A and B are shown apart, each in its own frame.
Chain A
Amino acid sequence: MTNTQSYPDTHHDVSSNTILGFWIYLMTDCVMFATFFAAYAVLHNNTFGGPSAKELFDLRFALGESLVLLASSFSCGVAMLYAPRQQTGKVLGWFAITFILGALFFWMGLYDFSRLIAGGNTWQSNGFLSSYFTLIGVHGLHILVGLMMMIVFIVQLIQRGLTGRVLRRLTCLRIYWHFLYLIWIFTFAIVYLIGAR
Chain B
Amino acid sequence: MIAFIEYSDIFGKLDLNAFKHDAIEASVGISIILISIALVFFLTYKKLWVWLWRDWLTSLDHKKIGVMYLIVSAAMLFKGFVDAAMMRAQQAFSVGDSFGYLGAPHFQQIFTAHGTTMIFFVAMGMVFGLINILLPLQIGARDVAFPFLNNLSFWFFAVGAALLIVSLMIGNYAGTGWVSYPPLSGIKYSPGVGVDYWLWGIQIAGVGTLLSGVNFLVTIFKMRCPGMTLMKMPLFVWSVLNSLVLIVFAFPILTATLAMLSLDRMMGMHFFTSDFGGYPMMYVNLIWAWGHPEVYILVLPAFGIFSEVVATFSGKKLFGYTSMVWAMVAITFLSFIVWLHHFFTMGAGPKVNAFFGIMTMIIAVPTGVKVFNWLFTMFKGRVQFKTPMLWFLGFVIIFTIGGMDGVLMAIAPVDFQVHNSLFLVAHFHSMVIGGVLFGILAGFTYWFPKIFGFKLNEKYGGYAAFCWIFGFLFAFIPLYILGLMGATRRLNHYEAATGWQPLFIVAAIGVCIIAVGVFFQIVQLIVSIKEKDQNMDTTGDPWNGRTLEWSTTSPAPFYNFATIPEVSERDPFWTMKHHKQEAKYVEIHMPKNSPHGVFIGALSFTFSFGLIWNMWWLAIVSLIGMIVCLMIRLFDRDTEYAISPQEVEKFELANKHLN
Contact = CB atoms under 8 A, between A and B. Distances in A.
Let me know if chains A and B touch directly in the complex, using CB atoms closer than 8 Å. Answer: yes
A47 B252 contact: no
Contact of A28 (B251, B259, B278, B588): B251
Contact of B222 (A8, A11, A38, A131): A8
A13 to B, nearest CB: 6
Given A5-B564, A46-B279, A28 B218 contact: no
A74 interface: no
A196 interface: no
A35 B253 contact: yes
Contacts of A190: none
B276 interface: yes
Contacts of B614: none
Contact of A6 (B279, B586, B635): B586
Nearest to A134: B263
A20 B222 contact: yes
A25 interface: yes
Interface in B177-228: 210, 213-215, 217-218, 221-223, 225-226
A50 B563 CA distance: 69
Given A32-B252, A126-B276, A6 B282 contact: no
A3 B640 CA distance: 19
B145 A17 contact: yes
B249 interface: yes
Contacts of B251: 28
B140 to A, nearest CB: 10
B222 A124 contact: no
Given A21-B215, A32-B252, A35-B253, A130 B269 contact: yes
Contact of A130 (B270, B586, B634): B270
A82 interface: no
Given A13-B222, A35-B252, A125-B276, A28 B270 contact: no
A190 to B, nearest CB: 16
B268 A35 contact: no
A138 B262 CA distance: 14
A152 B640 CA distance: 22
A31 B635 contact: no
B286 A9 contact: no
Contacts of B146: 17-18, 21
Contacts of A17: 145-146, 218, 222-223
B61 to A, nearest CB: 12
Interface string B137-155: 0000111011100000000
B279 A127 contact: yes
A127 B278 contact: yes
Given A36-B256, A43-B279, A48-B277, A130 B263 contact: yes
Nearest to A137: B263
Given A11-B640, A156-B635, A46 B277 contact: yes
Interface string B331-374: 00000000000000000000000000000000000000000000
B591 interface: yes
A42 interface: yes
A123 interface: yes
Given A17-B222, A28-B251, A32-B253, A134 B276 contact: no
Interface string B585-600: 0111111000000000
B497 interface: no
Contacts of B217: 21, 24
Given A6-B587, A21-B215, A124 B269 contact: yes
Contacts of B286: 35, 38-39
A133 B259 CA distance: 13
B253 A127 contact: no
A39 B222 contact: no
B242 interface: no
Of residues B222, B587, B590, which shows the largest number of chain A Cβ atoms within 10 Å of its Cβ?
B222
A123 B221 contact: no
Interface string A1-33: 001111111110100111011001101110111
A47 B248 contact: no
Nearest to A149: B634
A96 B131 CA distance: 43
Nearest to A25: B214
A128 interface: yes
Interface string B605-634: 000000000000000000000000001001
Contacts of B259: 134, 138
B271 interface: yes
Contacts of A43: 271, 277-279, 282
Interface in A129-187: 130-131, 133-134, 138, 152, 156
B267 interface: yes
A25 B247 CA distance: 11
A125 B58 CA distance: 47
Contact of B218 (A21, A42, A124, A152): A21
A28 B145 contact: no
Interface string B273-291: 1011111001000100000
B219 to A, nearest CB: 9
B260 interface: yes
B563 A5 contact: yes
Of residues B145, B257, B269, which shows the largest number of chain A Cβ atoms within 10 Å of its Cβ?
B269
A134 B260 contact: yes
Interface in A86-141: 123-128, 130-131, 133-134, 138
A182 B347 CA distance: 36
B257 A35 contact: yes
Contact of A127 (B141, B276, B563): B276
Contact of B252 (A13, A29, A125, A134): A29
A127 B223 contact: no
Ranked nearest first, the 10 interchain pairs of A and B with the lowest CB-CB distance are A46-B277, A127-B277, A35-B256, A32-B252, A130-B269, A126-B277, A31-B252, A48-B277, A124-B268, A11-B589
Given A17-B223, A21-B145, 10 more contacts: A7-B226, A10-B143, A31-B253, A46-B277, A48-B276, A126-B276, A127-B273, A127-B277, A128-B277, A133-B269
6 contacts: A3-B586, A5-B563, A10-B640, A13-B222, A20-B221, A28-B213
